[in-house]
Amino acid sequence: MADTVESLAARYWWALALRGVLGIIIGLIALFFPDVTLAALVLLFAAYMLVDGVLAIAAGVQAARRHERSWPLLLEGVADIAAGLIAFFWPAITLLVLVYVIGFWAIVSGILMIGSALRPPRRDEWLFVLAGILSMIFGGLILIAPVVGAVVLAWWFGAYAFAFGIVLLILAFRLRRPEHPEVVASTI
């Protein structure tokens, strides 16, 4: 008999509880130590770029051995490694660029939302306009104060991780209740 998602979740309620606790811990770290969170994000990006670059170069070498087009993979690998090294040796610049990208994205996204509300007219176009204005304000504030914007992004991530962890913890303990007989059967 195939297990349902609920019965599997009930049987492994403890895994959800661990994920919840981890989410709460990471959320608290991000909320109280945003600098650590941002440094970890930049270092993860740097590590990913370095590994991805090495793998792209390896794929390019393999393609060259088979007399296939290899230069795009080799070039990508070099670009990835360069980005990884920049992120590793200059993490503040990398973070600043990321914050600026998010700021510009929010402004462009807001402009496009407002534009989509105007042609053709929609029933609730004012909500599109409001969402666009909010997005543009958010982007503008990030561009005006990018350091504060980076900290705010870490706080938002922390709030999300904390809330997500609490929800998973509540779910885990609700699934552990006796009304889920699959939990009792799996522990016998």
Confidence (pTM): 0.67
Amino acid letter for position 126? W
Do the Cβ atoms of 169 and 31 come closer than 8 Å?
A: no
- 65 phi/psi in degrees, rounded to 5: -65, -30
Domain boundaries, the chain: 16-174
pLDDT in tens, 54-105: 999 999 999 899 998 889 999 999 999 999 999 999 999 999 998 999 899 9
Q: How many residues appear in the chain? A: 188
Q: Please state, in angstroms and rounded to a whole number, the distance separating the CA atoms of residues 171 and 158.
A: 20
